[in-house]
Amino acid sequence: MSTQLSVKADAHVMSPVPCRILSVEQELQDTYTLEVEPPGDEWSFLPGQYTMLYAFGIGEVPISISGDPEDSTKIVQTIRAVGAVTDALVGLRPGDYVGVRGPFGTAWDTQAAEGRDVLIVAGGVGLAPLRPVVFDVLNHRERYENVTLMYGARSPGDLLFASQIREWRGRFDLEVLITVDQADDSWRGPVGVVTSLVGRSSFDGDTAVAFVCGPEVMMRFTIQALERGGLTDDRLYVSMERNMKCGVGLCGHCQLGKFFLCKEGPVMTCAQMAGSCWIREV
């Protein structure tokens, strides 16, 4: 499967389409999930792709799509408030409008994982870009061998999609491993960094495929732990979301080595990125 998005020739990729907000749900103290009405009946996306969301009169930011790829009735975007634009976006309410461009970017190649063990490793809000992978794999569960979600957060109160995690933990066809950096009195699970979960899971390192998203330092150490477990760079996928501004590779803000991440990413294999030495940065 080619994971590169093909933009229709008649698509106005630089013109945000006004779309109505259907619902707003607070996930964490600074993180909200918006459900947005799609711009037309042919809306679809691949797991890992993103949209450019425009807060009218303020600015535009790239936001990964965090919903189910098989649900075309809404665009689901999970947003952490970290600046003027994201503050404005999470302050919107149902019935308000937001500008949407996209979807853009490359996708998690779930087809490459068919017939193999699947490892989904997330840190912090990195679970949002990976949630479509979980949906996609579970929608077609018979196509995969063992499936494991490993997720780490700073504290129990920082766990994203807590109710959905409880639902996933109730399944018999998905292993869910959760850890936190700092526990409180209510926490009964592991304490430590997410890389400590790699040794707790059973997977075939010779064939397994891993999808990894989170802070860059977390991704580096996770990749190294998975390599020690037998995974090779062509079976290690990461999402890089540095400084994306235009979505179509024109402005150059997101350049990393020879890549424009908004167009040739955000999802890439470590094999593709080998020349950038990104994995080995300290």
204 and 114, same structural domain? yes
- pLDDT at residue 48 is higher than 70: yes
Average pLDDT over residues 244-254: 83
Confidence at residue 279, expressed as pLDDT on a 0 to 100 scale? 57
DSSP string, 53-71: EEETTTEEEEEEB-S-TT-
How deeply is 30 buried, as exposed, middle or buried, from its count of CB atoms within 10 A (0-12, 13-18, 19+)?
middle
Residue 149 or 187, more confident? 149
Nearest to 76 by CA among 53, 109, 42: 53
Average pLDDT over residues 247-257: 83
pLDDT category of residue 59 using cuts at 50, 70 and 90:
very high
Average pLDDT over residues 117-129: 97
Residue 250 near residue 258 (C-beta atoms within 8 A) = no
* DSSP H helices in the chain: 84-90, 127-139, 162-169, 216-228, 261-264
Gap between the Cα atoms of 44 and 24, Å rounded = 21
Phi, psi of 33 (to 5 degrees): -110, 125
Whether residue 266 lies inside any domain: the answer is: no
Of 73, 104, 135, the residue at which a domain comes to its end is 104
Of 224, 239, 254, the residue at which a domain comes to its end is 239
Whether residue 255 lies inside any domain: the answer is: no
Average pLDDT over residues 35-50: 93
For residue 204, the domain's CATH number is 3.40.50.80
- pLDDT at residue 13 is higher than 80: no
pLDDT category of residue 280 using cuts at 50, 70 and 90:
low
Letter string b/e over residues 6-23, b meaning 16 or more CB atoms within 10 A of that residue's CB: eeeeeeeeeebeebebbe
pLDDT category of residue 8 using cuts at 50, 70 and 90:
very low
Structure tokens at 46: 């691949």
Which residues form the domain of 199?
A: 110-239
pTM of the model: 0.92
Q: Residue type for 48, please?
A: G
Of 56, 80, 104, the residue at which a domain comes to its end is 104
